[in-house]
Structure 1
């Protein structure tokens, strides 16, 4: 029996897809991050029951942090994006969290910057509040150690390909580093949208949107670039088409980042079938029903989607590009220098 709903809702389902691909499907994966971080803060005395935790969120982390605060008797204040929908707003209110929404904006960079700026103002006004810093504090790695253990149990022995959205870096980096530390041979394949700065893709914007959960217009301190072997940049249209295909063929109703991860996983298995593959589906598809799934008749046929294999981010091109990142520490390499660096690394 679970002591709290947060402990139950975080548990993933391990599902076989296409016979040999393992999908770890979550209802809301970031509960692992929030629970692990809040538990650590309480254990170390950084916060105490009754204190207020504050952070910025586009929605999923807001729910996760509200649940963690409810679980441990803390207060929660969220500076939210305009993407926080009514369903979540009502849940946050009932859970006792307060939500402060930013004014509507069509510019994601402006929205994120405004939210972070507002958090700074709140901290100046309320110095006793604790800023969770989900984008920058690696205490958010801690909860994902359980996910790494689950993958280690469920995946076949031998070389493993882990395919997941890069996101804030907490899940992708924490799980890969934990598995490697446990002795697994793991290649980490990160999924990004066009327009995200995290791996230098900001110069090629997606005309539709930045896919929530896999990229950003601001730098994330939790991303450890040197952990990644390959990167996939996938457009909104391709991610939508892949999410529709995942639902159609497996019954898994998951978000667009899950569809993008599924698409990348299928390609990586095509390139190297000697290893087993796990891809993460971090949330459900409910918030994408109107913007994506309702357009399922417009989906690109799955077999028609193939990536551009590139050698430098200077060659990025819609709708899907992929490259060997090679565990480099740099965020990106200028176009002219990139090929010589990559040639040197290959020698």
Structure 2
């Protein structure tokens, strides 16, 4: 049997499994999606001389990026220092420590907003004391777009991009924003559908509070500099119940065990295809469902049926509400509380 042999596990994890859900829907299923961006970002920074072997890379993370950066540092012989969110569980922390990363957990916080703000402030303190440390700035540096070019090429080789929608969590903007940017180089009509939780400033949902929100990584309580709002055609906002319904449906119907953001993206993709049955859809599943078992999947029996849910179609941000809202964004700029100058991908 002929097969590709990788020199490091990070190289293998940077490539998604392509799973065809139906004739017009493809799922990009990652174990840890941000490995793709972290690996290429670190390689590029080494090549440019911005960092050197033996340096320490530092950043804040709620989980996926911490694992990705630790793997990239292990791959390239660098030290890693993670300011860990309260959402980083014992399993991940143990892996990070064995990989050689310094893990600095933040104390329990009353809110994710306070947790996120504290983490960023702690990174700034570390940089003041240790000038040789390099802050990866996953929330602000467009270097993180670069690693998604090969994935865009992979999508292009399997999907008709002339009528394509890419659907996935917004997060830092690197994954969905980069895929759309690179796909539009040959097919400008590619549509980008962003998935957000409520309680996020990124696309103006901070006024709607979901008491059970644990969809870590796809929203933010602070402005992100590398989210280019003008790339997005449509935005879906999800609460916990709807995201769980999508995750359970994705597992039950296609045996894909993924995180809550993937479940939300799956619901959004099904709705977009219902509105335009001729479109091809690519759904991003950025991580596995393991860290959501206790807080989410264990409650599968009480999850609403995905087929019975439909989004509230809104025209203004003030109209949105739980459990699921949808709005034509039409490639508009950032809402007021997310107004950080957007950046586009590095070419």
Aligned partner of 2:314 among 295, 310, 319 = 310
Aligned partner of 1:276 among 274, 280, 284 = 280
Q: How many Å separate the matches in 2 of 1:253 and 1:325?
A: 30
CA deviations 1:310-333 (Å, max 9, x no partner) are 001010111111010000123259
Q: Is the 8 A contact 1:12 1:26 kept in 2?
A: yes
Q: Is the 8 A contact 1:194 1:210 kept in 2?
A: no
Counterpart of 1:54 in structure 2 is 58
Unaligned runs of 5+ in 2: 338-347
Q: Is the 8 A contact 2:24 2:279 kept in 1?
A: no
Superposition deviation, residue 272 in structure 1? 1.1
Q: How many Å separate the matches in 2 of 1:128 and 1:158?
A: 47
Counterpart of 2:340 in structure 1 is none
Unaligned runs of 5+ in 1: 334-347
Counterpart of 2:158 in structure 1 is 154
Counterpart of 1:294 in structure 2 is 298
Which is worse superposed, 245-254 or 149-158?
A: 149-158
Q: Is the 8 A contact 2:312 2:324 kept in 1?
A: yes
* Partner SS state of residue 184, structure 2: helix
Q: Is the 8 A contact 2:161 2:187 kept in 1?
A: no
Counterpart of 2:341 in structure 1 is none
User: For this pair of structures, how many residues does the alignment match?
Assistant: 333
Which is worse superposed, 123-132 or 203-212?
A: 203-212
Q: Is the 8 A contact 1:59 1:81 kept in 2?
A: yes
Aligned partner of 2:252 among 248, 253, 256 = 248
Superposition deviation, residue 211 in structure 1? 1.0
Q: 1:191 to 1:254 in 2, by over 3 A?
A: same
* Partner SS state of residue 181, structure 1: coil
CA deviations 1:182-202 (Å, max 9, x no partner) are 235200000000110001110
Counterpart of 1:340 in structure 2 is none
Please list every run of at least 4 consecutive aligned residues from structure 1 whose deviation after the TM superposition is greater than 3 angstroms. Answer: none
1:5-16 alignment runs, 5 A limit: 5-16=9-20
Q: How many Å separate the matches in 1 of 2:133 and 2:261?
A: 32
RMSD over aligned Cα atoms: 1.1
Q: Is the 8 A contact 2:238 2:264 kept in 1?
A: yes
Counterpart of 2:265 in structure 1 is 261
1:217-236 alignment runs, 5 A limit: 217-236=221-240
Superposition deviation, residue 89 in structure 1? 1.2
Confirm whether residue 35 of structure 1 aligns to residue 39 of structure 2: yes
What TM-score results when the alignment is normalised by the length of structure 1? 0.94
* Partner SS state of residue 162, structure 2: coil
Counterpart of 1:343 in structure 2 is none
Superposition deviation, residue 86 in structure 1? 1.2
Q: 1:171 to 1:157 in 2, by over 3 A?
A: closer
Superposition deviation, residue 36 in structure 1? 1.0
CA deviations 1:277-326 (Å, max 9, x no partner) are 11100100000001110101001011210011000101011111101000
Counterpart of 2:198 in structure 1 is 194
Superposition deviation, residue 147 in structure 1? 1.1
Aligned partner of 2:100 among 96, 103, 111 = 96
Q: How many Å separate the matches in 2 of 1:207 and 1:221?
A: 27
Aligned partner of 1:25 among 6, 17, 29 = 29
Q: How many Å separate the matches in 1 of 2:10 and 2:224?
A: 26
